[in-house]
Chains A and B, each alone.
Chain A
Amino acid sequence: MSVAPYSDLALPADWRDFIALTKPRVMTLVVFTGLCGLLVAPGSLHPVLAFTAVLCIALGAGAAAALNQWYEADIDALMKRTANRPLPAGRMDRQSALHFGVGMSFFSVILMGMATNWFAALILAISILFYVLVYTIWLKRRTAQNIVIGGAAGAFPPVIGWVAVTGSLDLMPILLFALIFLWTPPHFWALSLYVRMDYANAGVPMLPVVSGEKVTRQHIMVYTLPMVAAAILPWPLHLTGATYGVTAVALSLVFLAMSWRVLVHKPAEGDAMKPEKQLFFYSLLYLFALFGALVIDKVIS
């Protein structure tokens, strides 16, 4: 019987790898939109409870990300962008990721319920389950519409923030949900246009892989229109003031222009895909700026 050399034996995962498992960069946007939902909601929440609510949103998002990586370790290993994550890089065993994700899911939901209200906790639980079961396990490997439907998971945080304060739903959080839901496809399709080969090699049926670049560019434009409408709508409905309205119009016009550039872009072999990269990064800025404007508008009014 041969014995493996000590250099081949796996060490226990480093604590930093558990942090990496939560996708901290993605979490930034989740936490920010959740915080903004909480801040623009009518009424007030004790600062400690508000902090706890945002913490629970962050922990829930981190748990969902950990479970996503637990399930997708095989395809993550095939993509340049994700190959260095703790599981595909072999720095952590899958069971640790599963236990970490499940434990943190329960912890975040229970803490949310105890600190704020159980309606907010229920929506948090639905968002985690939606991301893991509907997006990761059911849709991602099966259909090019994966991020259209799966995008709903990322749209929950402002709703959770709002409900944590008010205990009920209203038109405004539904519009914020719609905004992120409609923002997700153009955002991810812009990315998938320039990492298309990665997705193709991993067998993930993203739209550019399944239907080609031209169709994806058209879809980005088509989804940008209702997204812009959802972004501006709170203003004419008198749910926000002019500060948000003017900002939303200006930012959305730039988004439309950038989507148009992506639509008409005809890349040659080895093209740097500049318009697509610019749209991807602008879309991140767009959402941060819109939600920031929402809070500033509330403070001013």
Chain B
Amino acid sequence: MNEAEYTAAVRARQLARAKVLAWVLGAFVVLTFGISIAKMGIH
């Protein structure tokens, strides 16, 4: 593996992790909204 291939592999891993993290954070926002609505319904 040369320097260019290594850098490309690192970038690909970082991009994949960033995408997954973005989805997780998005889901957390939706969940937090859902929890807030549910809690307001209870009180």
Contacts and interface: CB of A to CB of B under 8 A. Distances in A.
A114 interface: yes
Majority SS at the chain A contact face: helix
Interface in B27-41: 31, 34-35, 37-39, 41
Given A12-B10, A12-B13, A46-B41, A52 B2 contact: no
A11 B2 contact: no
A52 B34 CA distance: 10
Contacts of B41: 46
B35 A115 contact: yes
B13 A11 contact: yes
Interface string B2-43: 110110011001101100100000000001001101110110
A15 B42 contact: no
Nearest to B42: A46
19 contacts: A5-B1, A6-B6, A7-B1, A9-B6, A11-B9, A12-B10, A12-B13, A14-B13, A14-B17, A15-B17, A46-B38, A46-B41, A48-B34, A48-B35, A48-B37, A52-B31, A52-B34, A114-B35, A115-B35
Interface of B: 1-3, 5-6, 9-10, 13-14, 16-17, 20, 31, 34-35, 37-39, 41-42
Top 6 A-B residue pairs of the complex, sorted by shortest distance between their CB atoms: A6-B6, A46-B38, A48-B34, A6-B1, A48-B38, A15-B20
